[in-house]
Amino acid sequence: MGRSARAFDPGRRANPGGSGRAQDPEAAAGGGVASTADPPRGTLGEAALFALLTLLPWGITGCGGGLPPLKEEEAARVVEVAEPVAAALTRSLLGRLAAALEEGGPAQAAEFCSREALRLTAQVQDSVGGGLVLKRTSFRYRNPANAPDPAEEEALRYFEEGIRRGAGARPAHYVQRFSEDEFRYYKPLFVAELCTGCHGHPETFSPELRQVLADRYPGDLATGYEVGQLRGVLRVSVPAARIKP
Ligand code: HEC
- Give the model confidence (pLDDT) of 173-229 as tens digits: 999 999 999 999 999 999 999 999 999 999 999 999 999 999 999 999 999 999 999
Q: Which DSSP state fits 12?
A: S
Interacting residues of 61 by C-beta distance below 8 A, sequence separation 6+: 4, 5, 6, 7, 32, 33, 35, 154
Q: Is the CB of 231 under 6 A from ligand 1?
A: yes
pLDDT at position 169 is: 65
The residue to mutate among 111, 137, 153, 198, having the most atoms of ligand 1 within 8 angstroms of its beta carbon, is: 198
pLDDT at position 215 is: 97
Kindly give the parts of the chain with pLDDT less than 50: 1-5, 9-44, 47-63
pLDDT at position 46 is: 52
Q: Is the CB of 128 under 6 A from ligand 1?
A: no
pLDDT at position 216 is: 97
How remote is the CA of residue 218 from the centroid of ligand 1, in Å?
15
Q: Is the CB of 108 under 6 A from ligand 1?
A: no
pTM of the prediction?
0.79
pLDDT at position 179 is: 95
Count of C-beta atoms within a 10 Å radius of residue 236: 26
Q: Is the CB of 210 under 6 A from ligand 1?
A: no
d(CA 114, CA 151): 25
Contact 108, 198 (CB under 8 A): no
**Residue 214 CA, distance from chain mean position:** 26
Q: Is the CB of 227 under 6 A from ligand 1?
A: no
How remote is the CA of residue 228 from the centroid of ligand 1, in Å?
15
How remote is the CA of residue 84 from the centroid of ligand 1, in Å?
20
Q: CA neighbours within 13 Å on the CB side: how many for 218?
A: 1
Taking CA atoms, 135 is separated from 16, 120, 126, 175, in Å, by 30, 11, 13, 15
Q: Is the CB of 146 under 6 A from ligand 1?
A: yes
State the angle between helix axes of 207-216 and 72-128 in degrees (0 to 180), rounded to the nearest 10: 100
pLDDT at position 171 is: 86
N-term to C-term CA, the chain: 31
Beta strands (DSSP E) in 180-229 are 182-190
Q: Is the CB of 192 under 6 A from ligand 1?
A: yes
